[in-house]
Structure 1
């Protein structure tokens, strides 16, 4: 596990830096989020269907690649679409809870998923990883309504602003 964690952490560090830099360079966040979420789905499906140690190590590295990019670009997206700069600390606190919540919930529901998978004939771990892949895909789909750089952003009073104009250096 230590080896797998080290490999995954290195992969996360690399893609969080390069994914964030490329996202800034191309002034697009959603394509990076979609691609990194898709990469994570593929890695989780490898966990589900390829029961070999080597596949587990490779899938862990691939998962780290996807998660690193997703984390960095997602943080930038959230920072950009926050409704009010004055409430940013509260909003980032909510985001941290939202990021930590699945890590708290999955260990609690894992036994249910493992037993459900066994009882319906799919297999405990296979079903568990299929459910994780489905929720990762749902997370990927949930990005769609979020505005891209330069697209209008809805405000609290229902009006729309231009969002961030990186070329001009303006934040509306």
Structure 2
């Protein structure tokens, strides 16, 4: 014969195993080491992978956090590799990553606004100086500054050639010194 035991609500709660109403799953993570122009690492952190399959790196967040304009795969022995491409809509990497991977990233910092503004101002000053030298009659404000001690008469076509060469060299050598390590 089976015995029936009466219990209260409190006792039932104690006998029932503790269960949460949500299911906990492990979020896939990768370790990211960040380099800046091949030097560093400047930072190392764990990042959770996102996307539908939980295998995409949050590239846009890394770009914003470190002020990079682009990031590249990095190998300590061989240096910078291919750029890490990402979807511009959601900011996640196009290529998938495995949980627990070590990712080395090399970033290219954003250009500051001071550099191009300085180049433009130096170019305008150089062109102004050339125009003053080429003009047959020196302007009144240039005479007050005593800018030139010698009055050179250079034909206008020479000035035009100098301007064209200056502009062409500026466009061609924009990244010339940056690429030379």
Larger proportion of strand: 2
TM-score, length basis structure 2: 0.25
* Rg comparison, structure with higher value: 2
Larger proportion of helix: 1
Bigger relative contact order, structure 1 or 2 (CA pairs below 8 A, ≥6 apart)? 1
